[in-house]
């Protein structure tokens, strides 16, 4: 019995209360988790009969990570979604993916997002620690994704002093907002500049260039919707 199989079995037992969030709308989806350094693998089967199988067994997709990453997840020393999140398409991250069933790509990604949120967070009740050391790196800042589900996206984000969130000035095809928790700086939305401070909410329209410049360490909640 491989360490990968034992780890996934433990995580599946922990996910009992959240199992409905992990199932695809119909049928089943098989996610092979492979440890790239040891080549151990196990397959997480999500459907009407959730289970873990040894080795790679007819997977619809593969999740790749090193053994130390899996152990860090089990010990709450890392956040799976933060390690998998990327700022640019094609960017290599500590957790990476290969999709095999090209006819179910969107459905598979929805299940993967749920797995990163709930399955790989240990514990019977899912709790995330919003600590800088657990954050990833994307769009010039340090996010910990909270919910990516059914058209809604949400992250806790740390923008360190001197950093610029969305420095590239990307436009997103969905509405979004920033809830400033602490810190101060400036935000530019559609060419209009305003100061930011705690307890302020900034709404960003669709397809609008926006940036946030931190004059001191700033934390915020980012929320987007209609993000299909």
pLDDT digits (tens, 9 = 90+) for 7-58: 999 999 999 999 999 999 999 999 999 999 999 999 999 999 999 999 999 9
Domain 132-224: CATH architecture, name and number where available: Sandwich (2.60)
The mean pLDDT of 160-171, rounded to a whole number, is 94
Q: Give kind and range of the element (H or E) at residue 224.
A: strand 218-224
pLDDT at residue 70, rounded to an integer = 97
Phi, psi of 105, deg, nearest 5: -55, -50
- Examine the pLDDT at 181 and tell me if it is beyond 90: yes
Domain 3-119 and domain 132-224 have a common topology: no
Residue ranges covered by each domain of the chain: 3-119, 132-224
The C-alpha atoms of residue 197 and residue 182 are separated, in whole angstroms, by 7
pLDDT tens for each residue of 44-103: 999 999 999 999 999 999 999 999 999 999 999 999 999 998 655 566 789 999 999 999
pLDDT on residue 122: 96
pTM reported for the whole predicted model: 0.90
Q: Are 111 and 29 in contact (CB under 8 A)?
A: yes
What's the pLDDT score for residue 90? 61
- DSSP character at residue 113: H
Backbone angles phi and psi of 106, in degrees to 5? -65, -40
The domain 3-119 is classified under which CATH number: 3.20.20.70, 3.40.50.980, 3.30.1050.10, 3.30.470.10? 3.30.1050.10
């Amino acid at each position: 019995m491989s360490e990968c199989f034992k780890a996934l079995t433990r995580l599946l037992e922990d996910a009992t209360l959240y199992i409905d969030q992990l199932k695809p709308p119909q049928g089943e989806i098989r996610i092979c988790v492979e440890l790239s350094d040891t080549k151990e693998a196990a397959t997480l089967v999500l459907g009407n009969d959730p289970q873990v199988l040894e080795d790679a067994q007819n997977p619809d997709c593969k999740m790749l990570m090193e053994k130390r990453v899996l152990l860090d997840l089990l010990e709450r020393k890392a956040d799976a979604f933060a390690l998998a999140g990327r700022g640019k398409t094609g960017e290599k991250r500590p957790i990476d993916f290969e999709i095999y069933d090209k006819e179910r790509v969107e459905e598979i990604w929805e299940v993967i997002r749920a797995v990163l949120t709930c399955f790989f967070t240990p514990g019977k009740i899912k709790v995330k620690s919003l600590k800088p050391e657990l954050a990833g790196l994307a769009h010039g800042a340090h996010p910990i994704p909270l919910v990516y589900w059914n058209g809604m996206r949400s992250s806790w984000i740390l923008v360190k002093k001197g950093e610029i969130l969305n420095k590239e000035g990307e436009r997103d095809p969905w509405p979004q907002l920033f809830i400033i928790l602490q810190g101060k700086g400036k935000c530019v939305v559609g060419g209009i500049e305003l100061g930011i401070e705690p307890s302020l909410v900034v709404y960003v329209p669709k397809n609008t260039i926006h940036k946030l410049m931190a004059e001191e360490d700033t934390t915020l909640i980012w929320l987007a919707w209609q993000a299909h």
